[in-house]
Structure 1
């Protein structure tokens, strides 16, 4: 097993392009790291340069890692090699952590490996992986000049509002997470006539669009379509991948993204699992 250095991370990013869309989450992390976005992760592979498994894991030497939820992501073309790495020392199983965006077909193996280590696991969340391979496929909604003038980006004065309304936020750790995302990644919002955001969308540190939210009193105006379209164009112009994860039971968001031109590999699902809770 090998921890990748700066030059090797650049090479690995290029390799992962060949495996999109399934490699999107790890590709997104590497895209972010390679553009000097703050990170608490290190990246390891089974072998180099011809790797079959690549894992993003918390960097034990990074003091900032204590401020955030511990998260692990991986991409694998060989489940036997993946199992071997997870059984050995690719992941620290002692803290509470998440494995997110993994292939749903790996769930039984992940549960088995964790059980063999006497580590408990909590049910998974199943999600669709939606992406926009060609910006020309984006179906842009009509935006009048008044609404267009109210499209902006989030800033640090908005962290508390976003954190309070985020389903996984509302606490100090959520506040730090949202602050990091707003400070370092593209976002898009729609302001009211007082200059306060009423609808917004952010980019996670693995470069997926998310945290889409509209205040209840401003819903039904098509703001979500405008935000997704606007941020998609911005991401494409800046070289970011354009993709998102949508929970399987969230049919409204799934329809929203697909109606705007996003597609998916219908044979593939990703999963989030929680360990050592």
Structure 2
């Protein structure tokens, strides 16, 4: 694509970056939309995070990186979580490789403390290789890589989804009961997750199936731009509630100019089959990369 230079600022605040850094702070993330739209569906989560900036702007920080050898920009979004530390989402220029310039920029960027807990969400495998090289070989971290599929659906298709009525109610779970439901059922919940889940429920879409006023199934749109934390209570499985909440959230997301997307671990055949049955298509293989500082 032709070179696109989004509106950025070189005036970096203390602790975010130095004036000599190759990363440029993006003051208006929405200016990145034309670039990210061209990179769909691979950059689905980064595109969605950009669209969600209107509610997450107090937490998100955005940067671009201009590699002199590539006529395009790298895009980085980052924010902090109390449970998993710093979260980073990266959109790589489609034709870009990992040059020494790029690897050195990420290895030494001032918005990233490689010795502290972090997660890289839905990064393509080329970027994942760079991240693990830096984290493991350069920094000496015990780093986990979870290979995943990134699923996505066209917005027009998602908007046309039909929500079947029945002896239940389908509505958001953005309340105390909804938060308790997610924290009790999400297998990755840990100390500090309540703060993150609360922010997701307050700032993003969510969907639940209620039977006799109680939550039977629920799912939320996460801060890093994908649908997650899907769960149905065992006594209500086999009733199509998981499909209902997913379709409701996919439809609402598309109506709010988001691209419905989710991540599934490669070895999770049951979830992969389910996502395909409800209309998702595999967009790419991506990785979830995590380092948790343990003090070992």
- Shorter-chain-normalised TM-score: which range? 0.7 to 0.9
- Which residue among 227, 230, 249 is the counterpart of 1:212? 230
Number of aligned pairs? 262
> Deviating runs (4+, > 6 A) in structure 1?
none
Residue in 1 that maps onto 2:139: 118
Aligned to 2:277: 259
1:201 maps to 2:216: no
**Residues 96-175 of structure 1 mapped to structure 2, 5 A cutoff:** 96-136=117-157, 140=161, 143-147=164-168, 150-158=169-177, 159-169=179-189, 171-175=190-194
Q: Distance in 1 between matches of 2:125 and 2:26?
A: 29
TM-score w.r.t. the length of structure 2 is 0.80
Q: 2 CA distance for matches of 1:219 and 1:47?
A: 49
Instruction: Give 3-state SS (helix, strand or coil) of 2:192's partner.
Output: helix
Distance 1:5 1:100, change over 3 A: closer
* 1:27 paired residue number: 47
Distance 1:227 1:45, change over 3 A: same
Q: CA RMSD in A?
A: 2.4
Relative to its length, the structure with more helix (as a share) is 1
Determine the C-alpha separation between the residues in 1 that align with 2:50 and 2:27: 10
| 5+ residue gaps, structure 2 | 1-21
